[in-house]
């Protein structure tokens, strides 16, 4: 009897045992995604990640906002209840930014996501070349392109934050960046890193800007180096004007680009392949969304002016002083929205929720903080609105206009500046830009150069960099008081320092 | 009092003569026989030794129920002291007629008689040869057998914290969702659904907040189907719900037990005498109307405001917006259940239909549910087969909370129809009428179980296999009319379709072993569990239609697709959970109890080395009344438990580097879609573990008139699964799912029941549940990942307060601290005045972020439930109060609209009229209100007709009931109910994100108005 029982137990036990072995498989499957790149088509597609990140280039609350709102060309005034936003935008304009302000962290994450994407792709391509699974020439061209593009992201990190960590090896540091001895090696080292990376790869990448539209190519690399050398004194303390001019000349002498006859054509809805565009983000309402300048600046009721799909936000305005710095007759001045606005059917727009006032923009803004509508009844219609880019009728939240990140008129203005800096020349180049705008010559000097750069390139993310280079960023204007020089870089975001205690805050910011 | 009589009333009332909730009595012979079977199986190992000896006297007799004299088959009779005297226990059981014969050694004089459901007795033989024994029913048997994970347990032997709520204790009235049945009934279990939206989800929290990153709600198990949805069961079909509160009880469910477990047992069929059937019908109709809304100005009051020098915008008309969008809602429900059986085969079939209207026009839901529970016993009762099948179809007509928001705040002088102006974006009537949002959920659950009694092989051994499949098809269609500007403006009509199918299959095999060795009783279970999950779905969105008539039914007519716009997506997710588990319960001398549980569980979602986790629990208890004399105590059990439970990763693929399609980039001038990583992979992610200790006392005094339990628990959740800020670089994204930090919960729970009045005609039972909460975020740091000083989350929202964060999250601080400036008053010119950090009064421009401080907390300190049941002859009366205390709420409505300066754009709070405030809205403690409340949730009055036994209709009961009748609170917003998670402010199109459990305490402006319901119903039994 005992034997019988233990046999049964054995039977049950072995059944359980076999059953358990067969049914403990926990391999994970993710059917709607892929976990490894295999075909060449997959790899080319993977390359896109390094570029599509640029879709956030012009987004509100990241790099674009930080770079423009901190200057004398743009502000987001508080309009009653609207845009109070914890006074972040008032503080940004007045240079009272704090390390825990959202836009600094947004900018950091945006730029480093570009660094990470390029570093990851470089590693993946290098692994494939080592494995012999892809054509080495094709892969090497991709690797070179990614390294220059990483230089582009690092250039903006250098410009915005200064002393940022240089992370180029995706694999090694994935575990713990604080173990890396070179985590933060100083602004000059960042400068040197970008310079050496771009120089080492400039001859390996495409030299056909038309075929490489929307991508990094040789002329874009020259432009990047020109900007790096132009601001070398700010970044490293040592001016590099002649080096800058050599890069500028390389672009001019390539004969790939020319100034548009019509200033407006550069910013038109269909501005792809403009002769002036060197490197563009090819925004598209279907394929690459993210360009929503129309929402950021226009009044709510201007939805009816353009039959926009969504209501604009009534945010960004320009400063009266800047608007007035354009002469009458300057084609660039006409790009602003001032005065009474009209619906598509021709009827004047009325701001019903804003006390029934007409939507009639006055460039003069009573105050940066107009939180009290009783004191500032025109708060919602104060300030000229930006219309640099054409806004298409019926536009979705994503505009179709390409954003010219690098453009030829900047090359011409840089040429004017480097000549002026080196030998007082450059008048001819300054005149070219003013002539195209329909205004007469002004004598070349620092005052006129920085002013003209503003009028030509405002809202293209260069203004803050230019003001710093011309030593004007710390000056007072409108409601912005004189600010301390340490504010010429933005603080390392508090979120990043919280996430990685080994990150050091920049001088000045650390004692706030 | 006559416990059996009460029991009879209840069972006829709910007509659920089930094994688990029915006490044996004369009226229920067959159920008594079922108990006999149970007791026979329980005592199989008794080793009854009836050996013949010369010096023994034969004693015979009959064992009967003292209350009605009916015989009790299967009662156990043991000769006291026989073990010591003869070396083996002498005992026997009664036959089907309650007769017994036993041979008693001459020097022994005491028989111990026991039977489940009755108080055990010791009877002196005193030389008699016929000893008839009358057994007193044990009133506590009403809920004496409790469903626990993978089995049932005698309540008196339970050493962890388990609350059991049977159908007669459920909430009453206008109840259309199973969750509502439990609201306020279990100490420590909070079920909330603020506002009157009949389609809104419930927040369910057990013992505070144990986890913050992923799922925060208890696991639901319906008839053994793990992870089933509350929506799969109709409230009328539920026999009982058990809440496994502490980690010790929940550990058998291992990885999913961290937030507690709710076990739902549906009503099952029961044999009816002579093979007849029992038919029950419940029907009710109810009417619901707005109970509380946000009070704003009438058109006249608004215009009058303009005469006071406040800027208004008089558009010439007079419109009562909330009257335009609300309705008196009518709801009906019908439930028909048929049950019967022969003793070997029992069944119950039920059908339920509900048609619910919401207080917002055009909203509501219709639910049709059918259920079959079938039991069959075969092979001399050794084989038990059980099949459960339920099918549910529910259609929802969704109403946006923004309709109420704008009904309260849209300009009261705007004409109803005001097309053209951008002003029309927020016309509540247009939002209500031009929005079509329908959902349809179809679910079925199949559960098949076979159990075989192996006791011929090994005493006390049985084995079971269980298979279940749950399937849910979810459809959602939305259409925004081409004229609507709130959503889909500029799209010329916008349609969305979403179809999701979720299914899971569960296979389990268990072995049970129960035996009694002298004074030790052992019950144990061991098993294997395999569950695979699959989710798949597709989503289509397109606009630009020629006509609004298609709604969401003809996506091909969307011209956006022709232009490359519109969007389509689909997905397939698969995951598995595999587990081995076991539990041993031991009872020593009916006085000491010991229990141990183990579960080893693996999930596909973790990285290769971290898939498996081990979870165990131990608990013990002692029945003190068996050891010392406690005056008037019938029961006084001390228990202590410790256990670990886990939390699975929140979604699939979390450990892997995955690539998905993103935006496009240019390759030779052509757009090519990019393939990029979708998240930071974390192959090191592992199980989140909760450790909990629980001390408890179960007690009963004064012949069980006063009974209850007290629990103290302290838990700590470690390695919290949380999406956390990580450095960029080296990470691809600034957020990553990591194991980080600890959260602790402590609390005291009290459940008391008192039979205050017991007379033949009248009974009054009153019960209280009380629970305290203390949830602390102990740490949010681990290694290099540091949380930092604090984080401020949950922005107040548009307009203008998008960057105003109002909740502080800080290590070592309670969860739910509301953060902002402390209000000091208004200046004579109507400026805001605040206290700065030094306590000085400053104006708004002088205020800095350094002056912000904790100005409230959104988590309650304690909750209360108070239940009263009164019976007088045929009348029954029930009253239930529920309250939460100690929590604050941010009154978002007031933040934006209790301010005269916004009157040019919005209607304002009635209280704002006389407010000396002339500055724009600013968040401060002014808008943080104590939201203590005590709510009269339900009053029900019923009358049961006294019918003759022979009547065709067995039972008739009529009742009227009211829900949400009265709320006592000082809170000025819409609903003082606790808000456990913050979905964030809605955007201009009223879309919100998922709820953040770290940000309780905010009443957002899209809250539905609350409703009060009045119900008339009838219960019929045939």
Q: Which residues partner with A169 through β-bridges? A: none
Q: How far, in Å, are B221, B600, B641 from residue B251 at the CA level?
A: 14, 10, 11
Task: Give phi and psi for B898, each to the nearest 5.
Answer: -95, 65
Decide if A161 contacts A489 (C-beta within 8 A): yes
Q: If you compute the radius of gyration of chain A from its CA atoms, what whole number of angstroms results? A: 27
Chain B residues in contact with A113 (beta carbon < 8 A): 728, 732-733
User: Is the pTM higher than 0.80?
Assistant: no
At A268, the pLDDT band (50, 70, 90 cuts) reads very high
Cis peptide bond upstream of B752, omega within 30: no
Q: Min CA distance, A107 vs chain B (Å)?
A: 11
Q: Which two tokens stand for residue B423?
A: 């002003």
Q: Min CA distance, B385 vs chain A (Å)?
A: 20
Residues across chain B: 1022
Angular region, A461: left φ>0, alpha ψ -120 to 50, beta rest = left
Q: Min CA distance, B641 vs chain A (Å)?
A: 30
CATH number assigned to the domain comprising residue B42: 2.60.40.1120
Q: Which residues partner with B533 through β-bridges? A: B504, B575
Which chain A residue is nearest to residue B610, measuring alpha carbons? A26
Is the predicted pLDDT of residue B78 greater than 80, yes or no?
yes
Residue from the list B315, B659, B804 with its beta carbon closest to the beta carbon of A46: B659
Measured distance CA(B299)–CA(B318) in Å, rounded: 5
Note whether B663 contacts A33, CB cutoff 8 Å: no
Residue from the list A32, A85, A499 with its beta carbon closest to the beta carbon of B727: A499
Chain B residues in contact with A211 (beta carbon < 8 A): 668-669
- Tell whether B458 is covered by a domain: no
Closest CA to A325 of A202, A207, A463: A463
Note whether A354 contacts B905, CB cutoff 8 Å: yes
Which of A48, A62, A161, A166 has the highest number of chain B CBs within 10 A, making it the mutation to test binding with B? A48
At A10, the pLDDT band (50, 70, 90 cuts) reads low
Decide if B150 contacts B510 (C-beta within 8 A): yes
Q: Specify whether B181 is located in the same domain as B223.
A: yes
3-state secondary structure of B545: coil
**Which of B136, B159, B174 is the C-terminal boundary of a domain?**
B136
Is the predicted pLDDT of residue A393 greater than 60, yes or no?
yes
Other beta carbons within 10 Å of B589: 12
Place of tokens 């060449």: A40
Measured distance CA(A220)–CA(A226) in Å, rounded: 10
Which of A7, A65, A84 has the highest number of chain B CBs within 10 A, making it the mutation to test binding with B? A84
At B703, the pLDDT band (50, 70, 90 cuts) reads confident
Q: How far, in Å, are A72, A367, B428, B617, B815 from residue A370 at the CA level?
A: 18, 6, 29, 62, 35
- What letter does residue B48 receive in the DSSP assignment? -
Residue from the list A31, A282, A301 with its beta carbon closest to the beta carbon of B422: A301
DSSP assignment of B248-315: HHHGGGGGG-TT-EEEEEE------GGG-EEEEEEEEEEEEEEEE---B--HHHHHHHHTTT------
Note whether A85 contacts B918, CB cutoff 8 Å: no
Cis peptide bond upstream of B799, omega within 30: yes
The mean pLDDT of B897-903, rounded to a whole number, is: 89
pLDDT digits (tens, 9 = 90+) for A481-497: 999 999 999 999 988 88
Number of DSSP helices (H) and strands (E) in chain B, helices first: 9, 54
Is the predicted pLDDT of residue B23 greater than 70, yes or no?
no
Q: Which two tokens stand for residue A106?
A: 């947004």
Strands B888-891 and B1002-1003: parallel
Q: Specify whether B241 is located in the same domain as B194.
A: yes
Q: Which two tokens stand for residue B342?
A: 């022969």
Measured distance CA(B471)–CA(B448) in Å, rounded: 15
Q: Which two tokens stand for residue A37?
A: 């790149």
Closest CA to B471 of B554, B392, B549, B542: B392
- Tell whether B741 is covered by a domain: no
Measured distance CA(B66)–CA(B25) in Å, rounded: 10
Place of tokens 């209360």: B864
Q: Min CA distance, A400 vs chain B (Å)?
A: 13
CATH number assigned to the domain comprising residue B147: 2.170.130.10
Domain of B215, in residue numbers: 142-266
Note whether A44 contacts B667, CB cutoff 8 Å: yes
Chain A residues in contact with B459 (beta carbon < 8 A): none
- Alpha carbons within 13 A on the beta-carbon side of B62: 9
Which of B730, B819, B898 has the highest number of chain A CBs within 10 A, making it the mutation to test binding with A? B730
A40-47 helix and A136-160 helix, angle to the nearest 10 degrees: 20
Note whether B602 contacts A24, CB cutoff 8 Å: yes
Decide if A163 contacts A184 (C-beta within 8 A): yes
Q: Specify whether B96 is located in the same domain as B165.
A: no
The mean pLDDT of A184-192, rounded to a whole number, is: 93
Other beta carbons within 10 Å of B570: 11
At B783, the pLDDT band (50, 70, 90 cuts) reads confident
Measured distance CA(A346)–CA(A344) in Å, rounded: 5
Across the A/B interface, how many CB contacts are shorter than 8 Å? 284
Domain count, chain B: 2
Q: Which two tokens stand for residue B266?
A: 């549906």
CB neighbours of A278 closer than 8 A, spacing ≥ 6? Answer: A209, A219, A220, A223, A251, A257, A404, A406, A407, A408, A411
Other beta carbons within 10 Å of A394: 11
Average model confidence (pLDDT) across chain B = 86
Q: How far, in Å, are A109, A166, A174, A177, B928 from residue A181 at the CA level?
A: 22, 11, 14, 9, 49
At B147, the pLDDT band (50, 70, 90 cuts) reads confident
Q: Specify whether B132 is located in the same domain as B152.
A: no
Q: Specify whether B33 is located in the same domain as B52.
A: yes
pLDDT digits (tens, 9 = 90+) for B485-503: 788 877 889 999 999 999 9
Cα B758 from chain centre: 32
Measured distance CA(A396)–CA(A393) in Å, rounded: 9
- Tell whether B916 is covered by a domain: no
Decide if B268 contacts B373 (C-beta within 8 A): yes
CB neighbours of B859 closer than 8 A, spacing ≥ 6? Answer: B208, B209, B773, B775, B814, B815, B816, B886, B887, B978, B1000, B1001
Lowest mean per-residue pLDDT among A165-169, B287-291, B639-643, B933-937: A165-169
Closest CA to A472 of A497, A495, A446, A511: A446
Q: How far apart are the first and last CA of chain A?
A: 86
Q: Specify whether B32 is located in the same domain as B117.
A: yes
Note whether B671 contacts A287, CB cutoff 8 Å: yes
Q: Min CA distance, B420 vs chain A (Å)?
A: 9
Q: How far, in Å, are B230, B889, B901 from residue B821 at the CA level?
A: 42, 15, 20
- Tell whether B895 is covered by a domain: no
Q: Specify whether B237 is located in the same domain as B258.
A: yes
Q: Min CA distance, A285 vs chain B (Å)?
A: 8
Chain B residues in contact with A500 (beta carbon < 8 A): 727, 784
Measured distance CA(B572)–CA(B574) in Å, rounded: 7
Compare B345 and A428 and report the one with higher pLDDT: A428
Note whether A120 contacts B677, CB cutoff 8 Å: yes
At B989, the pLDDT band (50, 70, 90 cuts) reads low
Q: Specify whether B175 is located in the same domain as B123.
A: no
Closest CA to B4 of B20, B19, B24: B24
Closest CA to B404 of B425, B424, B432: B432
Q: Specify whether B205 is located in the same domain as B148.
A: yes
Lowest mean per-residue pLDDT among A36-50, A170-184, B145-159, B871-885: A170-184
Note whether B988 contacts A496, CB cutoff 8 Å: no
Q: Which two tokens stand for residue B158?
A: 């339970």
Residue from the list B457, B528, B725 with its beta carbon closest to the beta carbon of A495: B725
**Which of B228, B249, B266 is the C-terminal boundary of a domain?**
B266
Decide if B863 contacts B850 (C-beta within 8 A): no
At A177, the pLDDT band (50, 70, 90 cuts) reads low
Q: How far, in Å, are B186, B189, B604 from residue B212 at the CA level?
A: 22, 17, 21
Measured distance CA(B895)–CA(B924) in Å, rounded: 8
Measured distance CA(B180)–CA(B173) in Å, rounded: 10
pLDDT digits (tens, 9 = 90+) for B5-15: 333 333 333 33
Compare B963 and A80 and report the one with higher pLDDT: B963
CB neighbours of B82 closer than 8 A, spacing ≥ 6? Answer: B88, B89, B90, B91, B105, B108
Note whether B574 contacts A85, CB cutoff 8 Å: no
Lowest mean per-residue pLDDT among B74-78, B119-123, B948-952: B948-952
Q: Specify whether B107 is located in the same domain as B123.
A: yes
pLDDT for the residue B51:
41
Note whether A33 contacts B678, CB cutoff 8 Å: yes
Measured distance CA(B250)–CA(B617) in Å, rounded: 9
Note whether B729 contacts A167, CB cutoff 8 Å: yes
Q: Min CA distance, A304 vs chain B (Å)?
A: 8
Which chain A residue is nearest to residue B570, measuring alpha carbons? A32
Q: Which two tokens stand for residue B858?
A: 């959104």
Quick one: chain B helix, strand, coil %, rounded to 5?
15, 50, 35
Is the predicted pLDDT of residue A68 greater than 90, yes or no?
yes
Q: Specify whether B151 is located in the same domain as B107.
A: no
Decide if A97 contacts A491 (C-beta within 8 A): yes
- Tell whether B889 is covered by a domain: no
3-state secondary structure of B570: strand
pLDDT digits (tens, 9 = 90+) for B214-260: 677 889 999 989 988 888 999 999 999 999 998 888 888 877 888 88
C-alpha angle with apex B149: B143 to B154, nearest 5 degrees? 35
At B988, the pLDDT band (50, 70, 90 cuts) reads low
Which chain B residue is nearest to residue A173, measuring alpha carbons? B730
- Tell whether B989 is covered by a domain: no
Q: Min CA distance, B815 vs chain A (Å)?
A: 20
Lowest mean per-residue pLDDT among A131-140, B523-532, B609-618, B685-694: A131-140
Place of tokens 């690539």: B659
Q: Min CA distance, B832 vs chain A (Å)?
A: 11
Chain B residues in contact with A502 (beta carbon < 8 A): 784
- Tell whether B66 is covered by a domain: yes
Chain B residues in contact with A124 (beta carbon < 8 A): none
Closest CA to A229 of A219, A240, A220, A238: A240
Q: How far, in Å, are B89, B454, B905 from residue B44 at the CA level?
A: 14, 11, 79
Q: Specify whether B102 is located in the same domain as B123.
A: yes
Chain A residues in contact with B793 (beta carbon < 8 A): none
**Which of B136, B159, B176 is the C-terminal boundary of a domain?**
B136
Share of chain B above pLDDT 90, in %: 51
pLDDT digits (tens, 9 = 90+) for A350-381: 987 777 899 999 999 999 999 888 789 899 99
- Which segments of B176-276 are extended strands (E)? 189-192, 203-206, 219-222, 225-226, 238-244, 261-266
Residue from the list B530, B673, B902 with its beta carbon closest to the beta carbon of A81: B902
Is the predicted pLDDT of residue B1007 greater than 90, yes or no?
no
C-alpha angle with apex B1001: B997 to B1003, nearest 5 degrees? 110
Which chain B residue is nearest to residue A169, measuring alpha carbons? B730
- Tell whether B212 is covered by a domain: yes
């Amino acid at each position: 009897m005992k034997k019988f029982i233990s046999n049964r137990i054995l039977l049950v036990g072995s059944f359980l045992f076999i059953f358990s072995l067969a049914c403990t498989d926990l391999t994970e499957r993710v059917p709607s995604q892929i976990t490894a790149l295999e075909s060449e088509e997959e790899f080319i597609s993977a390359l896109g990640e390094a570029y599509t990140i640029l879709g956030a280039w012009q987004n509100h609350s990241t790099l674009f906002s930080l770079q423009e709102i901190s200057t004398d060309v743009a502000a987001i005034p508080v309009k009653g209840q609207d845009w109070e936003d914890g006074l972040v935008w008032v503080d940004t304009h007045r240079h009272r930014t704090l390390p825990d302000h959202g836009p600094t962290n947004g900018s950091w994450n945006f730029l480093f996501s570009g660094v990470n994407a390029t570093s990851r792709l470089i590693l993946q391509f290098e692994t494939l070349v080592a494995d012999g699974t892809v054509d080495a020439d094709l892969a090497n061209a991709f690797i070179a392109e990614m390294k220059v593009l990483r230089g582009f992201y690092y250039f903006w990190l250098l410009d915005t934050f200064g002393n940022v960590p240089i992370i180029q090896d995706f694999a090694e540091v994935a575990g713990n960046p604080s173990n890396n001895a070179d985590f933060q090696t100083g602004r000059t080292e960042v400068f040197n890193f970008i310079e050496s990376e771009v120089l080492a790869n400039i001859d390996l990448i495409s030299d056909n800007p038309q075929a490489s539209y929307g991508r990094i190519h040789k002329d874009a690399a020259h432009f990047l180096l020109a900007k790096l050398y132009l601001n070398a004194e700010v970044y490293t303390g040592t001016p590099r004007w002649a080096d800058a001019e050599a890069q500028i000349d390389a672009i001019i002498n390539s004969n790939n680009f020319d100034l548009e006859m019509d200033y407006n054509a550069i910013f038109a809805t269909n501005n792809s392949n403009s002769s002036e565009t060197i490197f563009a983000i090819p925004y598209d309402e279907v394929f690459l969304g993210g360009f929503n300048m129309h929402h950021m600046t226009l009044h709510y009721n201007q939805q009816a002016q353009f039959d926009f799909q969504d209501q604009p936000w009534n945010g960004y305005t320009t400063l009266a002083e800047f608007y007035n710095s354009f002469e009458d007759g300057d084609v660039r001045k006409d790009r602003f929205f001032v005065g009474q606005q009209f619906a598509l059917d021709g009827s004047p727009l009325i701001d019903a929720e804003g006390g029934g006032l007409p939507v009639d923009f006055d460039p003069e803004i009573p105050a940066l903080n107009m939180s009290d509508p009783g004191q500032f009844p025109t708060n919602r219609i104060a300030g000229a609105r930006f219309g640099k880019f054409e806004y298409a009728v019926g536009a979705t939240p994503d505009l179709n206009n390409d954003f010219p990140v690098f453009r030829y008129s900047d090359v011409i203005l840089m040429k004017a500046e480097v000549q002026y800096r080196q030998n007082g020349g450059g008048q001819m180049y300054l005149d070219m830009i003013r002539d195209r705008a329909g205004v007469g010559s002004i004598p070349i000097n620092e005052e006129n150069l920085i002013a003209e750069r503003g009028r030509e390139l405002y809202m293209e993310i260069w203004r803050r960099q230019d003001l710093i280079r011309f030593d004007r960023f710390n000056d007072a204007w409108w409601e912005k008081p004189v600010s301390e020089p340490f504010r010429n870089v933005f603080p390392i975001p508090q979120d990043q320092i919280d996430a990685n205690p080994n990150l050091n805050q920049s001088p000045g910011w650390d004692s706030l | 009092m006559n416990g059996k009589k009460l029991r009879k009333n209840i069972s006829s009332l709910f007509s659920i003569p089930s094994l688990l909730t029915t006490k044996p009595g004369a009226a229920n012979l067959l159920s008594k026989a079922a108990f006999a079977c149970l007791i026979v199986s329980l005592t199989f190992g008794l080793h009854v030794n009836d050996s013949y000896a010369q010096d023994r006297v034969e004693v015979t007799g009959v064992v009967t129920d003292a209350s009605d004299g009916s015989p009790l088959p299967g009662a156990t009779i043991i000769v006291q002291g026989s073990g010591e005297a003869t070396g083996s226990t002498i005992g026997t059981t009664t036959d089907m007629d309650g007769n017994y014969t036993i041979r008693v050694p001459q020097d022994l004089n005491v028989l111990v008689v026991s039977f489940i459901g009755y108080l055990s007795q010791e009877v002196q033989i005193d030389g008699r040869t016929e000893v008839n024994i009358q057994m007193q029913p044990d009133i506590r048997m009403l809920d004496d057998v409790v469903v626990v994970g993978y089995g049932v347990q005698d309540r008196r032997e339970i050493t962890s914290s388990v609350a059991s709520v049977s159908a007669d204790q459920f909430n009453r009235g206008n109840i259309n969702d199973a969750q509502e049945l439990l609201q306020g009934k279990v100490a420590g279990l909070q079920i909330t659904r603020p506002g009157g939206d009949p389609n809104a989800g419930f927040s369910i929290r057990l013992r505070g907040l144990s986890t913050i990153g992923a799922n925060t709600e208890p696991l639901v198990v319906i008839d053994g189907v793990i992870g089933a949805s509350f929506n799969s069961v109709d409230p009328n079909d539920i026999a009982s719900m058990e809440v496994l509160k502490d980690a010790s009880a929940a550990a058998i469910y291992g990885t999913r037990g961290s937030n507690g477990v709710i076990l739902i047992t549906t009503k099952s069929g029961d044999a009816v005498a002579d093979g007849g059937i029992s038919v029950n019908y419940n029907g009710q109709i109810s009417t619901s109307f707005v109970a509380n809304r946000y009070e704003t100005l009438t058109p006249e009051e608004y215009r009058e405001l303009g005469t006071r020098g406040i800027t208004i915008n008089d558009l010439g008309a007079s419109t009562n917006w909330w009257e335009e969008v609300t309705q008196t809602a009518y709801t009906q429900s019908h439930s028909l259940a048929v049950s019967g059986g022969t003793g070997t085969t029992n069944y119950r079939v039920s059908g339920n239909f509900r048609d619910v209207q919401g207080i917002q026009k055009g909203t509501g839901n219709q639910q049709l549910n059918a259920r079959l529970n079938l039991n069959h016993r075969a092979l001399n009762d050794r084989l038990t087969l059980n099949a459960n099948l339920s099918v549910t179809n529910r259609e929802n007509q969704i109403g946006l909370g923004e309709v109420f928001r704008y009904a309260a705040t849209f300009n009261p002088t705007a004409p109803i129809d005001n097309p053209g102006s951008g002003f029309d974006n927020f016309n509540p009537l247009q939002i209500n009428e031009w929005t079509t949002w329908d959902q349809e959920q179809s679910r079925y659950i199949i559960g098949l179980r076979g159990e075989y009694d192996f006791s011929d092989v090994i005493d006390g051994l049985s084995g079971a296999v269980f298979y279940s499949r749950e399937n849910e098809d979810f459809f959602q269609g939305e259409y925004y009319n081409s004229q609507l500007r709130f959503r889909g403006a500029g799209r010329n009509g916008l349609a969305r379709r979403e179809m999701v199918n979720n299914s899971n299959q569960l296979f389990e095999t268990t072995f049970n072993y129960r035996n009694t060795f002298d004074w030790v009783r052992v019950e144990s279970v061991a098993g294997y569990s395999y569950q695979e999950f699959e989710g798949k779905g597709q989503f289509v969105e397109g606009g630009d239609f020629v006509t609004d008539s298609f709604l969401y039914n003809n996506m091909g007519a969307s011209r956006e697709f022709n232009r490359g716009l519109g969007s389509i997506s689909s997905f397939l997710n698969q995951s598995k959970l595999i587990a081995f588990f076991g539990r041993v319960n031991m009872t020593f001398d009916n006085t000491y109890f010991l229990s141990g549980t183990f579960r080893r569980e693996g999930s596909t979602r973790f990285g290769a080395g971290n898939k498996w986790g081990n979870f165990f629990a131990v608990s013990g208890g002692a029945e003190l009344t068996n050891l010392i004399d406690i005056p008037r105590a019938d029961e006084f059990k001390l228990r202590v438990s410790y256990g670990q439970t886990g939390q699975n990763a929140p979604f699939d693929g979390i450990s892997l580097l995955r690539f998905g399609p993103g935006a496009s980039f240019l390759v030779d001038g052509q757009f090519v879609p990019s393939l990029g990583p979708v998240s930071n992979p974390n192959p090191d992610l592992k199980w989140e573990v909760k450790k909990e200790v629980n001390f408890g006392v179960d007690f009963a005094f004064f012949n069980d008139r006063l009974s209850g339990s007290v629990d103290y628990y302290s838990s700590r959740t470690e390695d919290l699964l949380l999406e956390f800020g990580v450095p960029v670089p080296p990470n691809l994204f600034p957020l990553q799912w990591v194991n980080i930090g600890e959260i602790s919960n402590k609390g005291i729970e009290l459940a008391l029941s008192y039979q205050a009045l017991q007379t033949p005609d009248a009974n009054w039972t009153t019960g209280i549940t009380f629970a305290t909460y203390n949830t602390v975020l102990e740490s949010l740091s681990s290694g290099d990942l540091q949380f930092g000083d604090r984080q401020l989350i949950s922005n107040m929202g548009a307009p203008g307060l998008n960057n105003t964060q109002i909740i502080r999250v800080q290590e070592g601080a309670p969860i739910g601290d509301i953060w902002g400036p402390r209000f000091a008053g208004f200046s004579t010119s109507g400026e805001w005045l605040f206290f700065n950090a030094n306590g000085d009064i400053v104006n708004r421009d002088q205020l800095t972020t350094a002056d912000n401080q904790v100005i409230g907390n959104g988590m309650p300190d304690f909750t209360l439930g108070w239940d009263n049941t009164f019976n007088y002859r045929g009348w029954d009366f029930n009253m239930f109060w529920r309250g939460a205390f100690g929590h604050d709420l941010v009154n978002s409505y007031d933040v934006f609209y209790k301010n005269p300066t916004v009157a040019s754009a919005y209607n304002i709070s009635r209280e704002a009229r006389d407010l000396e405030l002339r500055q724009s809205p600013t968040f401060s403690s002014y808008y943080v209100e104590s939201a203590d409340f005590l709510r009269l949730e339900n009053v029900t009055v019923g009358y049961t007709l006294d019918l003759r036994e022979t009547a065709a209709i067995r039972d008739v009961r009529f009742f009227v009931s009211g829900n949400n009748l009265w709320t006592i609170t000082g809170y000025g917003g819409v609903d003082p109910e606790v808000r456990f998670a913050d979905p964030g402010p809605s955007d201009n199109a009223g879309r919100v994100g998922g709820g953040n459990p770290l940000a309780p305490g905010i009443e957002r402006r899209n809250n539905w108005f609350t409703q009060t319901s009045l119900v008339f119903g009838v219960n019929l039994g045939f």
